[in-house]
Amino acid sequence: MPDRDTLLLMDDEELVRYCRLEFFKATGNGGQKRNKTSSAVRVTLEEYSITAEDCSERSQHRNRATALVKLRKRLAYAVRREYIPPEQTVCSLENKMYPLFLAKLLDLLDSCAWDYRKAAETFGVTATSLLKMIARDSEFFIYYNNMRKSAGLPAVHP
User: Are residues 104 and 74 both part of a single domain?
Assistant: no
Residues contacting 127, CB < 8 A, separation 6+: 116, 117, 120
Report how far residue 84's alpha carbon sits from residue 89's, in angstroms, rounded to the nearest whole number: 12
CATH code, domain with 49: 3.30.160.20
Count of domains for the chain? 2
Residue at 157 is within a domain: no
**Residue 158, pLDDT score:** 77
Beta bridge partners of 44: 20, 51
**Residue 105, pLDDT score:** 97
**Residue 31, pLDDT score:** 57
DSSP 2: -
Residue by residue, pLDDT tens for the chain (158 residues) are: 899 999 999 999 999 999 999 998 876 665 555 556 788 999 999 999 999 999 888 888 999 999 999 999 999 999 999 999 988 889 999 999 999 999 999 999 999 999 999 999 999 999 999 999 999 999 999 999 999 999 999 999 87
Phi and psi dihedrals of 30, rounded to 5? Answer: 135, -10
The domain of 10 spans 4-78
Q: Is 60 in contact with 41 (CB distance < 8 Å)?
A: yes
Residue at 155 is within a domain: no
